[in-house]
Structure 1
């Protein structure tokens, strides 16, 4: 086991491509002749099926990597709301949980060249039981790859904070989903700045539309919405959602900072809907409660080429359904993993992470 190279992949935010990158790295290592194991210590992307709550990422990893390990071995902790509540009440023992993670890791890593661990969407997840990704990396002696997005220079504060948390465990940062407009300043200014602060950077992967979000058409079909606009294009991709629960002026300010998003709001909130239509970052509106918008809003949406979707469910239920579609639609099939693998190979900067330790 001492010859196993262990890499934990974590991220600064949700939906940045961590799963695709993790599995693409593992696939590339296999194709390079290395034996590979996989583990997701904390299952956070939870779905309920046949009476069990489980994370779909280990299921995909098991299939793509041809692994024999059982689900409960690859995912020792189901980090569900129920688990969190029990932990807060003192009914989960952090020491026992840590031992379970380490024990499963030791079993899964036996005889493999590279052990890949998929971390959480945020570094602080798991703190209530002393099992953040930094804690797990320390427990299993793993190097850490930090996946981050980049839109503005202000995003680097979060990267620096993560680097301080991870310390010497940080192997480096990989920026993913970077637009053409942001790439130049990232490579010319930001990456040298980080290197000067002793934060290693492996590189930056460009934004690829097929890996970013889901189309409005797919979202509409998945949540059972009626499309109220006749001419607006439903082919745009959306990657995140915003909830319209504030006043019109505050909403407009928020929407101006949003990109590639769908707005979820009540069908009777005309001022929120109008504000959203003034923002280039809002690609579609999902109106809840079965309430049709004002004719003026519909007309404006047609002019701005922004589809309006209508659902019968309430806002809370709709938020949960949209969130599930956006999370599951990004990186959850073999095709997206293969495309990410191509990007990683083209970058040529991660080879050192895949080599077994001497």
Structure 2
């Protein structure tokens, strides 16, 4: 029985969907696939047993039946007092025992990391490097584009893992960077002994969010257009300019939520007439009746928030950059996308019984 540790250079890189895509693909090839997430950071209680929220989702999609505390033997709460720094008994032994039990009747084990490979769980001795070494796993490294790809981190992790690095998967790469990735970065890493197993192009749907959830995440409320609160937001733009300039800018990003001051009725109406998926009004200012009436007619939810435009925009960047897969349509889309670009032959050969 062979195992793969799915790691990442940083948080929200795409480890969970990579794990799902690999699991589904290997299951279709007739392999008995096992799964665990040794360290969890999203505690959830299922049937009075604590586990990790992401692990529960993957367990369900892969059709597994392992107990929550077996899938995730180490949980790190967000509360620092509850974390008990350095106090875990023997966390690594708990990980070893769970892995031995979960892998007993499996052809391949997929072990999904938490947070960044070199750091998450370090205070308890169960960081990604320590776990992958303790369990004798090959490591698949996921790196996500955020203004660039993190090749220095990839090289650093390669030095730590040596030949146990199976390869790297680049995620969420925009069109304008794809050529550089393929023609410059891939050959460079190959010369360093690092295989690039796939480059996943950016897909706005995978980072999209419903207006109702966005309102909650922003600490705001939907004040009109409630019947259309399930509309999907893929991106955002900021309305802080003259109407003429805003109209030209808006036409290029019609599928983006518009963040605009609550006192800018002119820009609000332009966005509504352009059928933006959502209007976010800042400064805790209630719009006039004309805006509310048009939002109802056009089916556009209007979210009122108390923060200023700059603060909301920064929050939006974080929200869209850290969206997790929870909806079936996004899971299927992402699994199909990953499966279509990843070198599954290379991975299959690495885990062949």
How far is 1:122 from its partner?
1.1
Residue in 1 aligned with 2:167?
Answer: 172
Structure 2 CA distance for aligned equivalents of residues 335 and 24 of structure 1:
14
Q: Paired residue for 1:70, among 52, 55, 67?
A: 67
- Choose 163-172 or 215-224, whichever is displaced more: 215-224
Q: Paired residue for 2:128, among 125, 130, 133?
A: 133
CA contact (8 A) 1:137 1:169 kept: no
How far is 1:235 from its partner?
6.2
Query: 1:29 and 2:1 equivalent?
Result: no
Q: Paired residue for 2:279, among 284, 307, 327?
A: 307
Residue in 1 aligned with 2:190?
Answer: 195
Query: 1:57 and 2:54 equivalent?
Result: yes
Structure 1 CA distance for aligned equivalents of residues 307 and 51 of structure 2:
25
Structure 2 CA distance for aligned equivalents of residues 337 and 200 of structure 1:
26
Structure 2 CA distance for aligned equivalents of residues 36 and 28 of structure 1:
10
* CA separation of 1:351 and 1:187: change in aligned 2, threshold 3 A: same
Give the alignment's Cα RMSD to 1 decimal: 4.0
CA contact (8 A) 1:150 1:182 kept: no
* CA separation of 1:274 and 1:324: change in aligned 2, threshold 3 A: closer
* CA separation of 1:328 and 1:111: change in aligned 2, threshold 3 A: same
Work out which of the two has the higher radius of gyration on C-alpha atoms and give 1 or 2: 2
- Choose 205-214 or 107-116, whichever is displaced more: 205-214
How far is 1:313 from its partner?
9.6
How far is 1:335 from its partner?
3.2
Query: 1:225 and 2:193 equivalent?
Result: no
Query: 1:101 and 2:95 equivalent?
Result: yes
Tell me the alpha carbon deviations over residues 61-96 of structure 1, each in whole angstroms, 9 at most, x when there is no partner. Answer: 2212221211111010111134775432x4323xx1
Structure 2 CA distance for aligned equivalents of residues 110 and 51 of structure 1:
25
Structure 2 CA distance for aligned equivalents of residues 51 and 354 of structure 1:
37
Q: Paired residue for 1:114, among 94, 108, 117?
A: 108
CA contact (8 A) 2:2 2:108 kept: yes
* CA separation of 1:54 and 1:216: change in aligned 2, threshold 3 A: same
Structure 2 CA distance for aligned equivalents of residues 165 and 84 of structure 1:
32
Structure 1 CA distance for aligned equivalents of residues 57 and 322 of structure 2:
12
* CA separation of 1:70 and 1:195: change in aligned 2, threshold 3 A: same
Query: 1:335 and 2:303 equivalent?
Result: no
How far is 1:30 from its partner?
0.7
Structure 1 CA distance for aligned equivalents of residues 83 and 231 of structure 2:
43
TM-score for the superposition, normalised by structure 2: 0.72
Query: 1:207 and 2:202 equivalent?
Result: yes
* CA separation of 1:154 and 1:68: change in aligned 2, threshold 3 A: closer
How far is 1:327 from its partner?
8.3
List alignment gaps of at least 5 residues for structure 1.
239-259, 264-272, 288-292
Q: Paired residue for 2:338, among 326, 333, 344?
A: 344
